[in-house]
Amino acid sequence: MFFVIVQQGEHHLFLLFLEICLEISQTTEIDYYPICVVSFSESHAQLNVCGAAPLNTRIVGGKDGPAGSWPWQVSLQRFGSHVCGGSLINREWVMSAAHCFSSTSTSGWQVSLGRQNLQGNNPNEVSRTVARIIFHPNYDRNTNNNDIALLRLSSPVTFTAYIRPVCLAASDSVFNSGTNSWITGWGALKEGVSLPFPKTLQEVEVPVLGNRQCNCLNGVGTITDNMICAGVLAGGRDSCQGDSGGPMVNQQGSVWVQSGIVSFGFGCARPNLPGIYSRVSRYQSWINSLISSDKPGFVQVTSRGLDADSSYTCPGLPAAPTTSPTTRPSTLFLILFIFSYRICVSKICSRCHQGRHFHIRCVRT
């Protein structure tokens, strides 16, 4: 006899007894004990397509991004003028920064997708008006805490090589100091210097800077757990005016996962003043509560090793926890049972999943 422990995201645990598998276990010789990890997904449509940039061969201090390199990047325009960036997270929702909007009025707002240049010809561009703008309920315009907004498009878009959704960092994701990240946008080249014609999308690589060090550099108390920082201490590479709301992404295997939303900073690319971003992984529950179907694809990102930021200190900064928090895959269904590898793959995959989409891997114990 065996049981299955199931956990779905943040929902309660419950047990399933699979009759078919009980029958198999009674008639099959077991030569070792495998652990099977089966990942089910309500948002499997997005997990199958999110984060893929088929035309990607990989801002301030950056360079032109080749067309289609960042297919989730959007331009948010009001009455025809670029205001902020954003990212496509499924066929009809875009994520951006709340500070880009003075109110939730949709008047004059338009979203341009598949766009490479702000000026001139864009053969792969598709545009939609905005049906709804939603701020995070705890957004604080004074501190920029919870600086995140969701925009519902007037109608769904069709995915192409130039228009695709980005994956989002799951709630249990960890980004250690030094993690390589990419930011994209049509913002200023440097403080007071706009992009020249045709205003081509810029890309730049920057490392994550731990929240403790970022707090010390920007003033203790400025950086909350809902924020993530990135930049080089020497300066020269950063997001700037016009990049706000755009994505900071990290490559996880073959897919790109959005870890941050361009939020604020003190100047642009100044030494010892990294850019500050809304931490996407903090908003998985909120996003899922608003998008009832075709949910975005959330992916767990885990940094290996000890985070150097955990030992960083400065006057006024509270001491770091003595133990690092443990992480667990909240988006996985964990199934522990006694079976052979052959049964785990051939029987569970073909007979026990009841038609639901999942990924499975087995390892010997």
The span from the CA of 95 to the CA of 147, in Å, is 11
Q: Which two tokens stand for residue 234?
A: 């020497």
User: What angle (nearest 5°) sits at the alpha carbon of residue 314, between those of residues 312 and 320?
Assistant: 45
Place of tokens 């670029």: 82
CA distances from 62 to 98, 184, 196, 275, 302 (A): 25, 9, 14, 14, 26
Active-site hit among 177, 244, 263, 281: 244
Beta bridge partners of 190: 193
Buried b (16+ CB within 10 A) or exposed e, 196-220: eeebbbbbbbbbbbbbbbbbbbbee
Q: Which two tokens stand for residue 226?
A: 């809902």
Bond before 198 cis per omega within 30 degrees: yes
244 is catalytic: yes
CA count, 13 A, side-chain hemisphere, 195: 27
99 is catalytic: yes
User: Pairing mode, if any, of strands 167-169 and 298-299?
Assistant: parallel
The span from the CA of 230 to the CA of 207, in Å, is 5
Q: Which two tokens stand for residue 100?
A: 């880009």
147 is catalytic: yes
Active-site hit among 82, 87, 99, 263: 99
The span from the CA of 241 to the CA of 191, in Å, is 8
Active-site hit among 43, 96, 147, 278: 147
The span from the CA of 324 to the CA of 115, in Å, is 42
Strand locations in 79-179, DSSP E? Answer: 81-88, 93-96, 109-113, 126-135, 149-153, 167-169
Report the Cα 329 to chain-centroid distance in Å. Answer: 15
Let me know: does 220 contact 213? Beta carbons within 8 Å. Answer: no
Annotated active-site positions, please?
A: 99, 147, 244
